[in-house]
């Protein structure tokens, strides 16, 4: 944490943060992928003790949305300022959300990363007070797991993990590294109307899984790091999972059915994060891609989305 007094910028800071998909099949709470749906944030430091929040776009009409100090972006901003050494008196925040809420596309990770990045952008020489690695650690502390936040910060594909904090061994800290994504790999996201909270999805998971299933996931996770970078033709095998998706069927039966329909046809489909969206990683084009989109059905909205090689910016 910085010991020096900070100098806040007098101008407004603007940033954007990509949506993200986590798990990607076998990499539960570890794999992340940035998607080119970008939430946009703008903020300024105020001289008086005022929190002024305006939200537009996705989730703006949610009655539970907080427009005060309890807004998630504001909370992340204050956490960032405190880490760097000094909180401003007030903040004016404007957000334009494009990431669907509660669909397994990292909307909460975007808000947390957006807030932390805004705090850094509003401080002169902010990068000296908060590095990307430190941002990942802070975001993980708020989000509870490092997969989505790491992809949102670094862009592309990421492998994230938690390890003991060197300063506080009894606590863990989030870490992440980037994985190159093969240029031929594209994403198709299938978004249902219904939502599913991450907390509810996690409650469906068992405490114990068969050893054979754990072995399979370990091998597929290792394979995925090669498939996503070098061998796209191995993505179908590399996205196989027995650790978490099947156990969430009760919470999203239509999503599991669509995923299994795709996989039955040899397509690398997974539940995106905690669901209920379904993510397809593919190298298709033309008629093959149109046929794939047509097979989604009326229960889901199919969107072609580029993988975002750039994280928060």
Residue 2 has what pLDDT? Answer: 44
Per-residue pLDDT tens over the stretch 106-130? 999 999 999 999 999 999 999 999 9
Residue 200 has what pLDDT? Answer: 83
66 torsion bin: left (phi>0), alpha (psi -120 to 50), beta (else): beta
25 torsion bin: left (phi>0), alpha (psi -120 to 50), beta (else): left
Per-residue pLDDT tens over the stretch 133-158? 999 999 999 999 999 999 999 999 99
Residue 196 has what pLDDT? Answer: 80
- What is d(CA 57, CA 45) in angstroms, rounded to the nearest whole number? 23
Residue 1 has what pLDDT? Answer: 47
Closest CA to 181 of 16, 24, 15: 24
Number of other residues whose CB lies within 10 A of the CB of residue 98: 18
Say whether pTM exceeds 0.75.
yes
Provide the greatest CA pair distance for the chain: 60
Residues of the chain with pLDDT under 70: 1-4
Residue 4 has what pLDDT? Answer: 58
Domains with residue ranges and CATH for the chain: 13-179 (3.30.230.10), 186-305 (3.30.70.890)
């Amino acid at each position: 944490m910085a010991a020096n007094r900070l100098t806040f910028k007098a101008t407004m800071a603007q940033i954007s943060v990509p949506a993200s998909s986590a798990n990607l099949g076998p990499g539960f709470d570890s794999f992340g992928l940035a998607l080119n749906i970008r939430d946009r944030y703008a903020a300024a430091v105020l001289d008086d003790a005022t929190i002024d929040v305006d939200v537009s776009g996705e989730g703006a009409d949610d009655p539970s949305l907080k427009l005060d100090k309890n807004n998630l972006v504001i909370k992340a901003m204050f956490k960032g300022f405190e880490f760097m050494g000094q909180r401003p008196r007030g903040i004016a925040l404007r957000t334009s959300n494009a990431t669907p809420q509660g669909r397994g596309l990292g909307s909460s990770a975007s808000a947390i990363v957006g807030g932390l990045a805004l705090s850094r952008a509003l401080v002169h020489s902010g990068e000296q007070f908060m590095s990307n690695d430190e941002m990942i650690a802070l975001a993980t502390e708020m989000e509870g797991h490092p997969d989505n936040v790491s992809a949102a910060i670094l862009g592309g594909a990421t492998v994230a993990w938690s390890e003991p904090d060197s300063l506080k061994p009894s606590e863990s800290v989030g870490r992440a590294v980037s994985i190159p994504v093969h240029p031929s790999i594209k994403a198709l996201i299938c978004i249902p109307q219904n939502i599913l909270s991450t907390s509810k999805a996690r409650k469906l998971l068992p405490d114990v899984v068969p050893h054979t299933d754990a072995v399979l996931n370990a091998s597929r996770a290792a394979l995925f790091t090669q498939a996503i970078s070098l061998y796209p033709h191995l993505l179908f095998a590399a996205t196989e999972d027995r650790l978490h998706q099947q156990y969430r069927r009760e919470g999203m039966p239509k999503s599991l059915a669509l995923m299994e329909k795709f996989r039955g046809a040899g397509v690398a489909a997974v539940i995106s994060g905690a669901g209920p969206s379904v993510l397809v990683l593919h190298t298709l084009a033309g008629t093959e891609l149109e046929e794939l989109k047509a097979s989604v059905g009326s229960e889901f909205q199919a969107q072609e989305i580029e993988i975002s090689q750039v994280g928060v910016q």
